Amino acid sequence: MIEVENLTKHFGAKFAVKDLSFTVKPGEVLGFLGPNGAGKSTTMRMITGFITPSSGDARVCGHSIIDEPFLAKQKIGYLPESAPLYNDMTVTGFLRFCADVRELKGSAKKDAVELAIETCFLQSVARQSIDTLSKGYRHRTCLAQAILHNPDVLILDEPTDGLDPNQKHEVRELIKRLGQNKTILFSTHILEEVDAACTRAVIVDRGIIVADGSPEELRKQSPTGSLHDLFRELTTHDSAHGSAA
């Protein structure tokens, strides 16, 4: 379970996230939508403990990321936006390192690495050096480290970014499958993914929540019944402002 309470982050005078509050329950897949620069990644980085909030708190399975970061981080599997990896390692070597970090030992470690490789379809590149992998495989390797320790909470920052249509489909199916017994928060700006994988969606714009509900509820809020139109209506249009200026 993720409980975000009045989370705020400002860099100097500029607010990246402003007084954000929401809850994601177990078995729920929350799509975190918003245009570029809306504060999605900053929010996720705060929930995962990578950056410190200016104010507010986030609780992961009851553990505050500020007061009990170690316990909270143990419950989280996180896929960062750029899917960073150690290029000098092999896929298996990297996953073994992540298993060590998660304190998995012996057969539990071996099984976890094998299962993650199988779940993310990495068998063909398992012994390959990471710096020789294509973008899709790199992304899936990073996803594999996120699910390796069977975490209660998954936080995925644009998990389908850069994948081909087949891979996108596989990742969405995986998210749906994992979402049955985990708490998942994933960000995207691809609205089709809301229908494909989410049980609920939140739209943020300039660090504030502008809509929250199930895909059906959100659709009802739009005069045309389209998520695209609702998204365009509620969020800032950088390009429109640019052309107007």
Q: Which residues bind other proteins (CB under 8 A)?
A: 45, 48-52, 70-71, 73-74, 76, 78, 80, 82, 84-89, 93, 97-98, 100-103, 145
Q: CA 107 to CA 89: how far, in whole Å? A: 21
Q: Which is nearer to other proteins, 18 or 200 (CB)?
A: 18
DSSP notation for 114-169: HHHHHHTT-GGGTTSBGGG--HHHHHHHHHHHHHTT--SEEEEESTTTT--HHHHH
**Smallest separation (angstroms) from other proteins to the CB of 105:** 10
Q: Which is nearer to other proteins, 1 or 89 (CB)?
A: 89
Q: Which is nearer to other proteins, 76 or 227 (CB)?
A: 76
Closest CA to 86 of 148, 138, 124, 155: 138
Q: Which is nearer to other proteins, 83 or 197 (CB)?
A: 83
**Smallest separation (angstroms) from other proteins to the CB of 175:** 19
**Smallest separation (angstroms) from other proteins to the CB of 54:** 9
**Smallest separation (angstroms) from other proteins to the CB of 98:** 8
Tokens of 209: 């929540």
Length of the chain: 245
In sign, the C-alpha dihedral spanning 39, 50, 44, 165 is positive
